[in-house]
Amino acid sequence: MSGDNKQAGSGKIFNLDAFRTARHRATHRRGRWRRIFVRVPWIWVQRLGVRQPGDDTYQLAFLLLYENWRNGGQPIVLSNILAAEVGLSRRDKWRALHNLEGLRLVRVIRRRGASPQITLGDIKGE
């Protein structure tokens, strides 16, 4: 038996180097993440209703849903830079936030001199 092969409790031999390589592949990051898709809860579709294409409220809603998924449900700090990534200006961001808040889809914690903190509500249609 060579140095890289180990014997398991059942008496079977496995290659430790192959295991380490497979584990490294599984934990290796692929670089910068990309936005590929957004799952939209039906309750959000119902509350948003039919809007005009390019509506800022839709753009922000989809961005917030994606960020909520990416952050594991943690509150989202919505900076102007993050909003600009989907083509929203500061004014557009606040207008869309106000609309989403009025539809009871988000809760906004406004912080003077800092980006707002957003918590999503009604993701599961509760």
pLDDT tens for each residue of 23-60: 555 555 556 656 666 677 777 777 777 655 558 888 89
- Domain(s) labelled CATH 1.10.10 in the chain stretch across 42-120
The rounded distance, in Å, linking the Cα atoms of 105 and 42 is 12
- What's the confidence (pLDDT) of residue 29? 56
Q: Provide the CATH topology of domain 42-120.
A: Arc Repressor Mutant, subunit A (1.10.10)
**β-strand pairing of 106-109 with 117-120:** antiparallel
- Confidence tier at 22 by pLDDT (50, 70, 90): low
Tell me the three-class secondary structure of the chain, residue by residue: CCCCEEECCCCCEEEHHHHHHHHHHHHCCCCCCCCCCCCCCHHHHHHHCCCCCCCHHHHHHHHHHHHHHHCCCCCEECCHHHHHCCCCCHHHHHHHHHHHHHCCCEEEECCCCCCCEEEECCCCCC
pLDDT tens for each residue of 92-121: 999 999 999 988 899 999 999 999 999 998
Residue 67 predicted with pLDDT over 80: yes
